């Protein structure tokens, strides 16, 4: 449900703080004025020409990339044309998996590449795929996505989209110039509860949206056992060299779409950020690895837990947290507060001002557990209902990735490409969500000073329609 921007601003203190905010932002490292036009076209609602047969290449086929490959190859209208990875055994393993699929006969001419770090470039030049799925070290995401688009392919990138603001701007410019999609594959936006909450927000169930809370709190110290290869072999170095929120998008993506950020109603404005002391990784390394081990030679400078507060253009707030170190249960928070109620996650629970018929009388009691059935029946997102039988045929939600969200995301990517429809997540959303990492670092380095979000849309966000509730 959209807020009247003029009335909202009139009824808040934002107008009176305009001078103060300008003063704060004037010295911010991230206060980037909108860059000159890229010379391309705005990609906010871009619909690329239909691809009846989607020729796809895959760069990085470890755990995450291998999952994308497996399920892509099993869906209609797809053809795997190339696989690239640093390691020969990974490429051959995934080739064997594709060959075992029931529908594999259409994947008959797969080019394979491994070895040095530039083999993926050779692949692009030789194969000329329609789309490329990128599941590699974070530092390579922007470089690879940009080159894929320049070579004529749509780029689908694991999170985050990039790690610096300059990289994000280059992604935007290349996407606009080449008229190619560059989608950060934020799978959590396709979770059942997240999609249901999106549907409820669109129907105005909780009124005008005011505040959100989101997080990625996931204890991942065990990844440090990956030393030579695997996620921990490169991710551990980010805990040592990085600052701020290193992985913001899983929590932020869904709540940003609830609020229609960068889509007509509202946009990201500023961020402040603070981190705790950095203790957990050093203690874990000392406890679990020899004194001369690589992980005991690093200076873990990034705080164990980061908290950032985002202010939107019309004054809404988002509390965003990140912690991959502390011993605690997993949570993404996934909370959205409106004028008529609240939707929250972990555990899933709902409270509405006028209650839920037959269960609660008002907002003082949560609807949760078995009582949620009535809400799922009424507000479950149509795409979940449509794809549920297919998901069950493929082994159920626990078999198709993260409770079904991975499958829904991949299915929608293919569906949009084949139908010539705009993607559910555009390049600007991926940039805004990923920008939290460098902005939070800037804020921490400046003692918590506010950091202004660059407007990757160059003022065009208010022309981009909100994400539809597709059936």
Structure confidence at residue 32 (pLDDT):
53
How many angstroms separate the CA atoms of 25 and 453, rounded? 10
Is the same domain home to 448 and 434?
yes
pLDDT at residue 103 greater than cutoff 70? no
pLDDT digits (tens, 9 = 90+) for 179-204: 999 999 999 999 999 999 999 999 99
Percent of the chain with pLDDT over 70: 92
Is the same domain home to 297 and 247?
yes
pLDDT at residue 55 greater than cutoff 70? yes
pLDDT at residue 341 greater than cutoff 80? yes
CATH number of the domain that residue 146 is part of: 3.40.50.720
Structure confidence at residue 105 (pLDDT):
76
The residue from 156, 185, 214 where one domain ends is 185
Is the same domain home to 296 and 443?
yes
Q: Is residue 48 assigned to a domain?
A: no
Is the same domain home to 148 and 253?
no
Q: How confident is the model at residue 102 (pLDDT cuts 50, 70, 90)?
A: low
Is the same domain home to 232 and 173?
no
Total domains in the chain come to 2
Structure confidence at residue 33 (pLDDT):
53
Q: How confident is the model at residue 101 (pLDDT cuts 50, 70, 90)?
A: confident
The residue from 185, 215, 233 where one domain ends is 185
Q: Which of 103-107, 160-164, 242-246 has the lowest mean pLDDT?
A: 103-107
Q: Which two tokens stand for residue 262?
A: 């960068």
Percent of the chain with pLDDT over 90: 85
pLDDT digits (tens, 9 = 90+) for 198-226: 999 999 999 999 999 999 999 999 999 99
Q: Is residue 22 assigned to a domain?
A: no
Q: How confident is the model at residue 89 (pLDDT cuts 50, 70, 90)?
A: very high
How many angstroms separate the CA atoms of 11 and 36, rounded? 34
Is the same domain home to 398 and 450?
yes
CATH number of the domain that residue 207 is part of: 3.30.360.10
Instruction: Kindly state the average pLDDT of the residues 60-66.
Output: 95
Instruction: Kindly state the average pLDDT of the residues 284-310.
Output: 98
Is the same domain home to 377 and 245?
yes
What's the whole-number average pLDDT of the chain? 92
Q: Is residue 282 assigned to a domain?
A: yes
Is the same domain home to 213 and 336?
yes
pLDDT at residue 19 greater than cutoff 70? no
Phi, psi of 265 (to 5 degrees): -80, -35
Half-sphere exposure in the Cβ direction for 348 (13 Å, CA): 14
What's 394's DSSP letter? T
Q: How confident is the model at residue 416 (pLDDT cuts 50, 70, 90)?
A: very high
What's 2's DSSP letter? -
**What beta strand segments (E) does 199-357 contain?**
209-217, 268-275, 306-312, 317-323, 335-338, 341-344, 349-352
How many angstroms separate the CA atoms of 321 and 307, rounded? 5
pLDDT digits (tens, 9 = 90+) for 141-172: 999 999 999 999 999 999 999 999 999 999 99
pLDDT at residue 323 greater than cutoff 70? yes
- Structural domain harbouring 318: 189-463
Q: Is residue 468 assigned to a domain?
A: no
Is the same domain home to 114 and 92?
yes
277 compared with 18, residue with greater pLDDT: 277
The count of residues in the chain is 471
Is the same domain home to 194 and 180?
no
Structure confidence at residue 82 (pLDDT):
98
Q: Is residue 439 assigned to a domain?
A: yes
Phi, psi of 29 (to 5 degrees): -60, -30
Structure confidence at residue 1 (pLDDT):
44
Q: DSSP labels for 87-123? A: -HHHHHHHHHHHHHSTTGGG----EEEESSTTHHHHH
Q: Is residue 363 assigned to a domain?
A: yes
Structure confidence at residue 13 (pLDDT):
36
From residue 181, give the alpha-carbon distance in Å to each of 157, 177, 266, 455, 461. Answer: 11, 11, 23, 18, 17
Is the same domain home to 297 and 334?
yes
Instruction: Kindly state the average pLDDT of the residues 326-330.
Output: 98
Is the same domain home to 193 and 339?
yes
What SS3 class is residue 469? coil
Q: Is residue 375 assigned to a domain?
A: yes
The residue from 134, 157, 185 where one domain ends is 185
Q: Is residue 45 assigned to a domain?
A: no
Single out the residue of 330, 329, 378, 371 nearest to residue 350, CA to CA: 371
């Amino acid at each position: 449900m959209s807020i009247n921007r003029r009335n909202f601003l009139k009824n808040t203190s934002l107008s009176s703080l305009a001078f103060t905010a300008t003063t704060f932002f004037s010295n911010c490292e991230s206060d980037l004025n909108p860059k000159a036009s890229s010379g391309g076209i705005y990609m906010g609602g871009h619909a690329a020409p239909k691809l009846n047969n989607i020729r796809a290449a895959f760069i990085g086929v470890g755990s995450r990339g291998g999952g994308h490959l497996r399920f892509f190859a099993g869906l209609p209208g797809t053809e795997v044309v190339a696989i690239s990875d640093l390691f020969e055994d990974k490429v051959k393993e995934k080739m064997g998996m594709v060959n075992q699929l029931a529908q594999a006969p259409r994947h008959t001419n797969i080019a394979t590449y491994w070895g040095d770090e530039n083999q993926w470039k050779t692949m692009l030049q030789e194969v000329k795929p329609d789309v490329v799925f990128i599941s590699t070290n974070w530092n390579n995401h922007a470089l690879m996505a940009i080159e894929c688009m320049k070579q004529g392919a749509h780029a689908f990138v694991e999170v985050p989209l990039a790690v610096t603001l300059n990289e994000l701007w280059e992604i935007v410019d290349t996407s606009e110039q080449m008229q190619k999609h560059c989608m950060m594959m934020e799978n959590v936006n396709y979770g059942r509860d997240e999609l249901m909450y999106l549907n409820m927000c669109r129907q105005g169930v909780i009124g005008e949206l005011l505040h959100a809370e989101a997080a990625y709190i996931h204890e991942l110290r065990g990844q440090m056992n990956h030393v030579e290869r695997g996620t921990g072999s490169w991710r551990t170095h980010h805990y040592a060299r990085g600052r701020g929120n290193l992985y913001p998008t899983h929590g932020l993506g869904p709540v940003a779409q609830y609020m229609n950020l960068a889509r007509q109603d509202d946009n990201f404005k500023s961020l402040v950020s603070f981190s705790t002391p950095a203790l957990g990784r050093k203690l874990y390394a000392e406890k679990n690895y020899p004194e001369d081990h690589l992980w005991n030679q690093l200076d873990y400078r990034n705080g164990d837990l980061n908290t950032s507060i985002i202010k939107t253009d019309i004054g809404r707030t988002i509390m965003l947290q990140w912690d991959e170190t502390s011993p605690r249960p997993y949570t993404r928070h996934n909370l959205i507060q409106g004028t008529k109620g609240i939707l929250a996650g972990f555990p899933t629970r709902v409270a509405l001002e006028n209650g839920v018929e037959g269960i609660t009388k008002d907002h003082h009691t949560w609807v949760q557990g078995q009582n949620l059935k009535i809400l799922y029946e009424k507000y479950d997102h149509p795409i979940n209902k449509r794809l549920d039988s297919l998901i069950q045929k493929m082994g159920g939600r626990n078999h198709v990735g993260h409770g079904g969200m991975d499958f829904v995301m991949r299915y929608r990517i293919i569906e949009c490409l084949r139908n010539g429809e705009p993607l559910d997540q555009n390049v600007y959303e991926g940039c805004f969500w990923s920008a939290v990492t460098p902005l939070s670092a800037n804020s921490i380095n400046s003692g918590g000073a506010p950091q202004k979000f660059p407007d990757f849309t160059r003022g065009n966000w208010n022309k981009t329609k909100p994400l539809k509730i597709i059936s």
